[in-house]
Amino acid sequence: MRLLQRVLYYRPALPGLLIVVGTAVMYVLFSRHVISAGIVRGDSMVPTLIPGGRYFINHYIYHLREPRRGDLVVFVHPLFKDLTVKRVIGVPGDVVEQRGGRFYVNGVLLEEPYVSAGTREGEVSGGYCRWQVPAHRYFLMGDNRAVSTDSRVFGTVAREDIKGLVMWQ
């Protein structure tokens, strides 16, 4: 009877260790390749993202589809080499034009309800610029145009540098 009790109630340490290690491995894989969290630093995405605010990044979505115009994406900034959030304005093949403080994509005025008055660079000074978006590259801009360092400065961003879609801000 005693032997039976020892066999029935035996709890080896190994399963507990396997659960802890398995959970840690799943967390790392999930947070690096599926969903992770981020904190907003800087004000280039105001009013959409407020400095100090939190958001989630969907890393998996772009394995299923390509980035679309209007998506908020996390990418490796070409000048600073850190992760940055910007909005997709132009996709491969698009022609993006800046006329004063307004942007046109393929000749059509881009409706931008996410850009608040007073954050559009060039509303007063005017100006004209034109960019052709090459294959496998994207034209990205911050919503706070007056302070954003974006594709107007560093050019288009390669598809492989886009790491995920911002969700649940």
Catalytic member of 31, 36, 81, 86: 86
CA dihedral 47, 53, 54, 55 (to 10 degrees): 0
DSSP 98-111: EETTEEEETTEEPP
Catalytic member of 31, 44, 148, 163: 44
By CB atoms closer than 10 A (0-12, 13-18, 19+), residue 97 is middle
- 44 catalytic, yes or no? yes
Residue with tokens 């994406």: 73
- 151 catalytic, yes or no? no
Give the residue numbers annotated as catalytic, written as ranges: 44, 86
